[in-house]
């Protein structure tokens, strides 16, 4: 069904969407400016974030979060950290 293909917003379009929203434009005007057939896609982006633009994320910030998560013990791993499990797996696996 060709009519149901979902089109996503590019990062540039998202930035423009949030900038227009901050300036007080209505959802219909934003959708028209972004050349969207209807306003539901614009509304979905706004609703997910509660109408507040998400803060920009840097790779350093994401690496910090990943490190923090990988250092937490997990019940499914026998209260070991994922890093400790990977190290044990590497030492137990035969060298090829």
Interval 53-65: pLDDT, tens: 888 888 999 999 9
Q: Which pLDDT does position 3 carry in this prediction?
A: 54
Q: How far apart are CA 17 and CA 67, in angstroms?
A: 32
Is 68 in the same domain as 42? Answer: no
Is 44 in the same domain as 67? Answer: no
Q: How many domains does the chain have?
A: 2
Structure tokens at 6: 């979902």
Instruction: Please list the ranges in the chain whose pLDDT falls under 70.
Output: 1-7, 95-96
Phi, psi of 71 (to 5 degrees): -95, 0
Range of the domain at 71: 59-92
Q: Which pLDDT does position 82 carry in this prediction?
A: 80
Q: Which pLDDT does position 19 carry in this prediction?
A: 93
DSSP 25: -
Q: Which pLDDT does position 86 carry in this prediction?
A: 80
Within 10 angstroms of residue 30's Cβ, the number of other Cβ atoms is 23
Is 35 in the same domain as 64? Answer: no
Is 19 in the same domain as 39? Answer: yes
Beta-bridge partner residues of 74: 80
Q: Is residue 2 part of a domain?
A: no
Q: Is residue 3 part of a domain?
A: no
Q: How far apart are CA 15 and CA 9, in angstroms?
A: 10
Q: Is residue 30 part of a domain?
A: yes
Q: Is residue 69 part of a domain?
A: yes
Q: Which pLDDT does position 1 carry in this prediction?
A: 46
Q: How far apart are CA 21 and CA 29, in angstroms?
A: 10
């Amino acid at each position: 069904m060709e009519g149901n293909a979902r089109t996503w917003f590019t990062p540039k379009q998202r930035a423009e969407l949030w900038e227009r929203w901050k300036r007080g434009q209505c959802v219909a005007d934003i959708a028209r400016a972004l050349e969207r057939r209807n306003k539901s896609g614009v509304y979905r982006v706004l609703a997910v974030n509660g109408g507040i633009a998400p803060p920009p994320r840097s790779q350093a910030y994401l690496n910090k979060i990943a490190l923090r998560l990988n250092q937490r013990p997990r019940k499914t791993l026998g209260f070991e950290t994922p890093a400790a499990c990977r190290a044990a797996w590497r030492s137990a696996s035969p060298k090829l």
